[in-house]
Amino acid sequence: LRAEEPVHRTFLGTWVLTSYDDIKFLLRDPRFCSDNLPERLNNKTSYLENRHQNLNALVGASSKWLTFLEPPDHTRIRSLIGGVFHPEMVERLRPEIQEIMDKLIENVQRKDSIDIISEIAYPLPMYIISKILGVPKEFQNQMHDWADDISGIFCQFNSLSDLARMNETVLKFTESFREVIVQREKEPQQDLISFLITARNEGDKLTNDEILSICILLFITGEETTVNLIGNGMLTLLHHPDQREKLKRQPTMIYNAIEELLRYDSPVQAISRIAIKDVEIRGKEIKAGDRITMYLGAANRDPKQFSEPDCLDLTRADNRHLAFAGGIHYCLGAVLARVQGQVAINTLIQRLPNLQLATNTLEWRNHSFLRGLKALPVN
Ligand code: HEM
């Protein structure tokens, strides 16, 4: 498709973009805005109301999510929380990320076989995002399950029963975060929730609903994608023993290696936008209101941008992949994801150097936009 029809209209009327240049350009083009999920959900609500169900909690929370906001609200909220994800702040977390990773490795070191997804890739980002937000231990596992449940919301094709279930999950999420907020109001700590409460009280810059939805969004976006980076990255290295050996001998290569792993098997394969004006791309007329799906995974393998794109090269130079998208919605947690990926993959390669894939039948999670394994058994 990328070679023959890089701007393609599906029978459902959605545009599919697959070339690196088109996607990079469109991400920064103000004639396109983020996917309006809350409006889409609202359109489905009347049907559900006939069955005495609604999507009010989901619509309410997602209407404040950065991913679906545009300036000026997007700029206001992003600049408020952006500092926490600044490279300097994230670099300060590196020793703690390493400490958690060392503990996770100690737990599995003496086992004959392990599952990298459930025993390493899931717990690491869950602890870290909980630490950043200030989620107490007793809430973490439950919130992890809820985040897992809602992560499918970013796909286009959710069934009504999935949406109704996600709405219930958002309600539970909201109640738990409300409890944490009450705790932090009484006893502020050095965490993002306490910081957001101060911002709300001092400058009237945030509402309580916005705090709640920021917390839910960060828990969802911060977990699943990082799990996929660690899982897909390790699978790729298991399939390329020569490259794995290079990394084992030269651990400082990890910075470059993570960029190549993000490019080679991108954790987020696709994202959506809506045209707000009529736009012509490569002779195709995209009309205002049309939906566009951009395949980041296809762009990251575009031979016009990357030489030998299907070849894994951990030393690849000038690797301007689009795994974190671009423009105003460029991933807020990109630096945090990179550091977690670097620490997790390097530690696994150095401390468990002889890992072998323990199955020939890998199962992928059922997501159209995210790419990640259900399990990665090794011995
Ligand atoms: C946005 C990828 C990890 C928070 C995005 C987008 C992509 C992405 C492609 C753009 C979505 C769009 O434009 O529609 C990834 C990948 C990750 C990762 C591949 C891991 C390897 C994280 C982490 C966090 C995070 C760890 C936070 C803890 C966010 C947020 C946005 C976002 C808040 C919305 C930004 C905005 O709209 O301004 N991410 N992400 N992500 N990501 Fe990530």
pTM exceeds 0.90? yes
Distance 249 CA to ligand 1 centre (A): 31
Q: Looking at 15-29, 143-157, 300-314, 336-350, which range is the least confident one?
A: 143-157
Q: Looking at 145-149, 283-287, 297-301, which range is the least confident one?
A: 145-149
Distance 189 CA to ligand 1 centre (A): 25
| Residue 293 Cβ < 6 Å to ligand 1 | no
Point out the ligand 1 atom lying closest to the alpha carbon of residue 326: 13
Point out the ligand 1 atom lying closest to the alpha carbon of residue 338: 21
Statement: residue 43 has pLDDT above 90 = no
Q: What is the residue with the minimal CA distance to atom 7 of ligand 1?
A: 324
Q: How confident is the model at residue 132 (pLDDT cuts 50, 70, 90)?
A: very high
Which CATH number covers residue 17?
1.10.630.10
Q: How confident is the model at residue 120 (pLDDT cuts 50, 70, 90)?
A: very high
Distance 330 CA to ligand 1 centre (A): 7
pLDDT of residue 114: 96
pLDDT of residue 151: 77
195 found inside a domain:
yes
Point out the ligand 1 atom lying closest to the alpha carbon of residue 328: 38
| Residue 221 Cβ < 6 Å to ligand 1 | yes
Point out the ligand 1 atom lying closest to the alpha carbon of residue 67: 37
Distance 113 CA to ligand 1 centre (A): 32
92 found inside a domain:
yes
2 found inside a domain:
no
Over residues 162-204, the pLDDT tens digits come to: 888 888 888 898 999 999 999 999 999 999 999 888 888 777 6
Over residues 47-70, the pLDDT tens digits come to: 666 665 677 888 888 888 898 888
| Residue 345 Cβ < 6 Å to ligand 1 | no
pLDDT of residue 237: 98
| Residue 33 Cβ < 6 Å to ligand 1 | no
Domain that holds residue 175: 7-378
How many separate domains does the chain show?
Answer: 1
pLDDT of residue 104: 97
Dihedral over Cα of 93, 94, 100, 104: its sign: positive
Q: What is the residue with the minimal CA distance to atom 43 of ligand 1?
A: 331
Q: Distance between CA 306 and CA 299 in Å, rounded?
A: 9
Q: Distance between CA 19 and CA 6 in Å, rounded?
A: 6
62 found inside a domain:
yes
151 found inside a domain:
yes
What's the complex ipTM?
0.99
Statement: residue 284 has pLDDT above 70 = yes
Q: How confident is the model at residue 46 (pLDDT cuts 50, 70, 90)?
A: low
pLDDT of residue 134: 92
| Residue 124 Cβ < 6 Å to ligand 1 | no
341 found inside a domain:
yes
| Residue 324 Cβ < 6 Å to ligand 1 | yes
| Residue 271 Cβ < 6 Å to ligand 1 | yes
Q: How confident is the model at residue 335 (pLDDT cuts 50, 70, 90)?
A: very high
84 found inside a domain:
yes
| Residue 81 Cβ < 6 Å to ligand 1 | no
Distance 126 CA to ligand 1 centre (A): 15
Q: What is the residue with the minimal CA distance to atom 21 of ligand 1?
A: 226
Q: What is the residue with the minimal CA distance to atom 25 of ligand 1?
A: 333
Point out the ligand 1 atom lying closest to the alpha carbon of residue 223: 26
1 found inside a domain:
no
Point out the ligand 1 atom lying closest to the alpha carbon of residue 125: 26
| Residue 226 Cβ < 6 Å to ligand 1 | yes
